[in-house]
Amino acid sequence: MRSLFKQTFYEGQRRFARLCMQWLPNGSLTKLPIFILHSIAKTASDMAVSEASFRSQLYALLEAGYRCMDLPDALRALTAPEPLPQPAFCLTFDDGYRNLYECGLKILEDLNLTATVFVTVSFIEGRIRPPWHSRDAALLREYSRSGDHFHPLDWFQLCEMLAGGRVRVGSHSVDHYLAGKLPEPELRREICDSKKLLEDRLGIAVPFFSYPYGVRRHGAYSARTEAMVREAGYHCSLVSEIGRAAVGTGPWLLPRIPLVDPDTGLDACAKAAGAYDWVAFAQQSFQNLFPNPHIAQ
């Protein structure tokens, strides 16, 4: 039921967004879309986008006049009171899948783009894997069938991408728990220890953090977690609530917009232009109706 409802809604929102494009300006100078992706692979999963679809989406954005902003530049722009010099977007990848290194990096190089990968430390070290702590039978079957598309990066691959200058690294916690539901010691491990572990292994500062699951309603974050993120020395926090980041509002709890395999280049441009801003309200309704299957029940 959840899957059928979701797919029907996704198709409906695409059709509506395409209609909206005729009334929307081609890019905003006061809103920055930060796209969230996971695995680059051709498989039936919301967590994957094929190489062909990803290239098509990026080509369309660039042809429409958008430029790809490096995350540190984006954070400065979101903190400043001035509008963007031209329409822009950011690319982020959560969890840390190997195919970012195997094929995503080539796409970034071909198009002269940058991205930030938010790494789950225990995933990289082989102690945990998706669907994380879930016991949902359908989700377990999905990842069992498509497990080859969800292998982790290793430390060498991360270091090589960092050395190339196209990829930055942020923390996505140690064990991919719902941070907002953790007691103090475990929360400190997920937020503070993940930063230190990444910095020790990679030899760089890690100033970016994205919340696993990323939705406040599910317990992904809270005022308490945000206080610890700032105390730990991060420069920003990113969530998974759908929307575009507003220039001048600062670098905290930044919303993001997913790019998924069925999205065409037109759909990517529609998301960047604001045709999906209303989806945040629909997302809330959907989450009230259906629990997140990725979360242990």
Helices (H), 35-99: 51-63, 71-79, 99
Report percent pLDDT > 90 for the chain: 74
Interval 204-229: pLDDT, tens = 999 999 999 999 988 999 999 999 99
Average pLDDT estimate for 248-269:
95
Question: What pLDDT, on the 0 to 100 scale, is given for residue 283?
Answer: 60
Report percent pLDDT > 70 for the chain: 87
166 or 15, which is more confident? 166
DSSP 3-state of 31: strand
Backbone angles phi, psi at 85, to 5 degrees: -70, -25
Question: What pLDDT, on the 0 to 100 scale, is given for residue 264?
Answer: 94
Q: How many CB atoms lie within 10 A of CB 43?
A: 17
List Cα–Cα distances, 297 to 26, 145, 168, 209, in angstroms: 43, 22, 34, 25
pLDDT band of residue 291 (cuts 50, 70, 90) is low
Give the pairing type, strands 245-246 and 31-32: antiparallel
Does pLDDT of 9 surpass 70? Answer: no
Question: What pLDDT, on the 0 to 100 scale, is given for residue 144?
Answer: 82
Question: What pLDDT, on the 0 to 100 scale, is given for residue 257?
Answer: 96
Average pLDDT estimate for 170-196:
97
Length of the chain, in residues? 297
Interval 39-65: pLDDT, tens = 999 988 889 999 999 999 999 999 999
Question: What pLDDT, on the 0 to 100 scale, is given for residue 143?
Answer: 85
Does pLDDT of 284 surpass 90? Answer: no
Question: What pLDDT, on the 0 to 100 scale, is given for residue 145?
Answer: 82
Q: What is the DSSP string of 103-127?
A: IIHHHHHHHT--EEEEE-HHHHTTS
Maximal CA-CA distance, the chain: 51
List Cα–Cα distances, 55 to 83, 135, 153, 265, 270, in angstroms: 28, 34, 21, 9, 16
CATH numeric code, 2-289: 3.20.20.370
Does pLDDT of 286 surpass 60? Answer: no
Does pLDDT of 285 surpass 60? Answer: no
Does pLDDT of 249 surpass 90? Answer: yes
Query: What crossing angle do the helices spanning 194-202 and 155-164 adopt, rounded to 10°?
Result: 70
Question: What pLDDT, on the 0 to 100 scale, is given for residue 297?
Answer: 47
Interval 168-180: pLDDT, tens = 999 999 999 999 9
Average pLDDT estimate for 130-157:
88
